[in-house]
Amino acid sequence: MKHLFALDYLLRIAYSRVKGNVKWRDFCHPEVAEQIRKKEISRMVKFFYRHKLIVFLAVIGLALFQSASWANHSWGKYHWARTINPFTLKTGDNVNSSWDSYLNTTVSDWTASSVLNLSKVSGQGGSSCTPTLGRVEVCNGSYGNNGWLGIASIWTAGGRNRNHIVQGTVKLNDTYFNTAQYNTPAWRNLVSCQEVGHTLGLDHQDENFNNANLGTCMDYTNNPASNQHPNQHDYDQLVTIYTHLDSTTTVSAGIRSKMPPAMNDIDFSSRATWGKMVWKSPDGHVALYVLDFGNGNKVITRVIWANPTFEVPEAPHRGAK
Ligand SMILES: [Zn+2]
Ligand SMILES: [Zn+2]
């Protein structure tokens, strides 16, 4: 709706400029703007009637822009830098036997993408799931009754790696996966697939728990039976994210970074360490946190809550997405 108001305002400015009777600075003054609005509304209607083709095109353009941004479900601009496609991303296996088969499924699910391959390697995360430059560490553990089933975190470094993922971690919370409700192959597949998908740069396709499943692990649901794996839209989105090539790479072991050491030393089990909540879904079940170390050095954390009735605690400062 606010886009309509913005469009309305822009059209009004365009109209007044074309008619040449209003100065730019007048728009800065709310009272003047209000007078203009009242006085000129009928003349505007006539003007737009005469120029209805332009208005029509503007509305169509806005609608296309809107649907393009809905269809896009990449996670901001974040992606791994690489010089070739398909690229291979090492996936550190820090999970125990209760997760091995699910991690294998996740690795092969995402490797089906035409632009990337995941290769499972032995984990370097240790008990606290410490990140390693150039790879994703996947870990499980009883992280406690803290509300989350799984979390995915990505790190960006400053300079030319401002939008480049330099490392990632996924944590799967056995405190919930050991309960009857979540100890099912469908829940394990959905969460493992979704959290690893986040570390590739993908966002959710849908965040409503109660609507029909889209057939992708990137879709929130109360019944994961048909949402255990990626769908074609996820693979298409990965192609969109990774079509361009970079002049440098963040997926090799040899990369260096000037990230502050503290960035690698965070215990993500508790919400208190995730940084500022920058976005929360309208129903409060999905949230995104950013821990900002300045100069493009960030840790971004996505959370999937165990219980849809769990309310995300309000952050002290809430911004836009
Ligand atoms: Zn790039
Ligand atoms: Zn998620």
Report the separation in Å between the CA atom of 288 and the middle of ligand 2, taken as the mean of its atom positions. Answer: 9
What long-range pairs does 265-274 form, CB within 8 A, spacing at least 24? 265/130, 266/291, 266/299, 267/128, 268/129, 268/151, 268/153, 268/169, 268/171, 268/301, 269/143, 269/144, 269/146, 269/171, 270/146, 271/146, 271/147, 271/313, 274/151, 274/301, 274/303
State in Å: Cα 46 to ligand 1 middle.
48
Amino acid at 187: W
Ligand nearest to the CA of 82: 1
End-to-end CA distance of the chain: 17
pLDDT at residue 267 in the model: 73
Q: Closest ligand to 205 CA?
A: 2
Which ligand lies nearest the alpha carbon of 80? 1
Residue 103, C-beta contacts closer than 8 angstroms, at least 6 positions apart: 91, 93, 95, 120, 138, 192
What pLDDT is stored for residue 243 in this prediction? Answer: 92
Residue 315 Cα to ligand 1 middle (Å): 31
Q: What is the pLDDT of residue 317?
A: 37
The pLDDT of residue 309: 53
Helix (H) and strand (E) counts in the chain:
7, 9
Element (H, E) at 58: helix 52-71
Ligand nearest the Cα atom of residue 78: 1
**What is the sign of the dihedral through the CA atoms of 71, 72, 75 and 76?**
negative
Is 203:214 a contact under the CB 8 Å cutoff?
A: no
Q: Which residues pair with 150 in a beta bridge?
A: 172, 304
| DSSP H or E run through 175 | helix 174-177
CA of 204 to the centre of ligand 2 (A): 6
pLDDT at 311: 46
Report mean pLDDT in 10-residue bins for the chain, 321 residues. 51 55 50 61 72 76 54 71 96 98 98 98 92 96 91 89 92 95 97 97 90 95 95 96 92 75 75 80 76 87 72 39 32
Query: How far does residue 61's CA lie from ligand 1's centre (Å)?
Result: 27
**Which residues have their alpha-adjacent CB atom under 5 A from ion ligand 1?**
246
At 69 the pLDDT is: 43
Q: Counting ligands in written order, which one lies closest to the CA of residue 288?
A: 2
Domains, the chain, with CATH or none = 2-71 (no CATH), 79-305 (3.40.390.10)
Report the separation in Å between the CA atom of 87 and the middle of ligand 1, taken as the mean of its atom positions.
12
| Dist. CA 79 → ligand 1 center (Å) | 6
**pLDDT value of residue 315:** 39
Question: How many of the other CB atoms lie within 10 Å of CB of 316?
Answer: 6
Extract the tokens encoding 167: 């490392």
Query: What are φ and ψ of residue 151, in 5° steps?
Result: -135, 145
Q: What is the CA radius of gyration of the chain?
A: 23
Give the distance (Å) from ligand 2 centre to CA of residue 202: 9
Q: Are 181 and 152 in contact (CB under 8 A)?
A: no
